[in-house]
Amino acid sequence: MATSSLKFSSSYKKYEIRKKNPDPKTSVLLVIDMQNYFASMAKPMLPNLLTTIHICRQASIPVIFTRHCHKSPAEDGGMLAEWWNNDLIIDGTVESRLLPEIERLAGKDEVMEKNTYSAFVNTRLQQRLMEMGVKEVIVAGVMTNLCCETTAREAFVRGFRVFFSTDATATTDLELHDATLRNLAYGFAYLVDCHRLKDGLLRIK
């Protein structure tokens, strides 16, 4: 998968159609694939993500982290192996590990492994959310237009209310980032950033 370093603006009001705050009693924060493989794009927005995690935990919102990894291109690479010319994140490598700043925050039972764009496919995520009584998901992490967007869309069609972070997600290209925000705001997710989460979640505590 292609990676690069790029800072994204948290301004998203030009795409915003609907406004809503998450309900901390029924929400979970999904932190997608903050791994060494994606460090160049993830680190510029890492402060915003750490703030997002802190805000959610202050509001007693559980956090689930995902880690994307494969056994080998042939064994479980699927279409990703074809699409990315076998450039996959192989489990057990340094690249497959969570960023140190994230690894320190993620308890063992909070990390869910996945091997495709969606955090729902070939995982226990759906069952876990149902067991927790979750009705809303807040999506953050990388990449905005691949794993984050796919997970957000699938959460919506599975019946979850979706909130998508604009300043704690990142990808390779600002146009791709903005395209995701525009698409999700149109049909799938409420857009949020650190400021809105802080105002919306901590104000009601």
Task: Report yes or no: 63 and 57 within 8 Å, Cβ to Cβ.
Answer: yes
**pTM of the shown model:** 0.93
Could you tell me the end-to-end alpha-carbon distance of the chain, in angstroms, rounded to an integer? 41
Of 91, 159, 88, nearest to 120 by C-alpha is 159
What are 29's two structure tokens? 């924060």
pLDDT in tens, 63-122: 999 999 999 999 999 999 999 999 999 999 999 999 999 999 998 889 999 999 999 999
Domains identified in the chain and CATH numbers: 23-203 (3.40.50.850)
pLDDT tens profile 5-51: 455 555 667 888 899 999 999 999 999 999 999 999 999 999 999 99
CB 171 within 8 Å of CB 145: yes
Strands (E), the chain: 27-32, 63-68, 111-114, 136-142, 161-170, 190-192
171-181: pLDDT as tens digits? 999 999 999 99
Strands 111-114 and 190-192, by their bridges, are unpaired
Helices (H) and strands (E) in the chain, counts: 9, 6
The amino acid that residue 93 corresponds to is T
What is d(CA 185, CA 176) in angstroms, rounded to the nearest whole number?
14
**Residue 138 near residue 22, CB atoms below 8 Å:** yes
In the block, tokens 């919506």 appear at 156
